[in-house]
Amino acid sequence: MSDLFETYELDFQLALQEAKAKIASAQLNGFSLRKDALQAIEHATDEALEILDQMNLEIQSMPANQRLSYNAKVRQYRNEVDANKQKLKELLDEEDRQQLFGSRYTDNEEEGSQRKQLLSNNASLERLSERLRESQRVALETEGIGGNILNDLRAQREQITNARNTLLSADNYVDRSVQTLKLMSRRLVANKFISYAIIAVLIILIFLVLASKFS
């Protein structure tokens, strides 16, 4: 695991624990004390999500055989953040209900309906934001995998090029060896002819010596 990933993981744990502690505190405190706590929870949750995005980027720089376990860990962390977001949403909904119905005798039904619609729209926007964030994570992961594939292809191309150069060098060595063998063969043939000529001269000399003795 890289040192940078460990640093991000530590920062994430701190932000997550801060959010959990503030959620527990907000659930115990009254409405008058809860507003600041809810804002602090939102800030801690957003910070945790940003750290998760940084962790995803760091994972892309790791070797492919190490990413699976780290991606699983990040997904687990994201599930914990989602659980906190759900609790935060419940607290926000409760706060909105208190604002809506705390003075129920002065609010009319139409205003309450509009408020509920706004809450529904806010929830839809939150879900859309989460989907966009997940799509960005998948895109980054896909981009990283594509980059590794390209690097592997480049390495394979270099290996093929080196192998081809080696084969060309070997072919040159073979050609030179064949030429050397041909030259040696020609020299052997020439040496045979020279040997035969020497033998023939010796035989002729022997006959001449014998002929001179008997004449």
Asked whether residue 177 is domain-assigned, the answer is no
Tell me the whole-structure pTM to 2 decimals.
Answer: 0.42
Q: Is 189 within the bounds of a domain?
A: no
CATH, residue 52: 1.20.58.400
For residue 70, is it within any domain? yes
Q: Is the dihedral of CA 50, 52, 55, 56 positive or negative?
A: negative
Q: Is residue 86 part of a domain?
A: yes
Q: Examine residue 120 and state whether it is found in any structural domain, yes or no.
A: yes
Q: Residue 105's pLDDT band (boundaries 50, 70, 90)?
A: very low
Determine the average pLDDT of the residues in 30-54.
77
Q: Is residue 213, in this structure, part of any structural domain at all?
A: no
> What are the φ/ψ torsions at residue 106 (nearest 5 degrees)?
-105, -20
DSSP string, 47-113: HHHHHHHHHHHHHHTS-HHHHHHHHHHHHHHHHHHHHHHHHHHHHHHHHHHHHHHTTTTTS-HHHHH
Is 143 inside any structural domain?
yes
Judged against a pLDDT cut of 90, whether residue 199 lies above it is answered with yes
Whether residue 80 has pLDDT greater than 70: yes
Domain of 47?
A: 3-166
Give the contacts of 11 (CB within 8 A, at least 6 positions apart): 51
Indicate the DSSP class of residue 29.
S
194 lies in some domain: no
* Domain total of the chain: 1
Which sign, positive or negative, has the C-alpha torsion 126, 132, 136, 137?
positive
How far is it, in rounded angstroms, from Cα 18 to Cα 81? 12
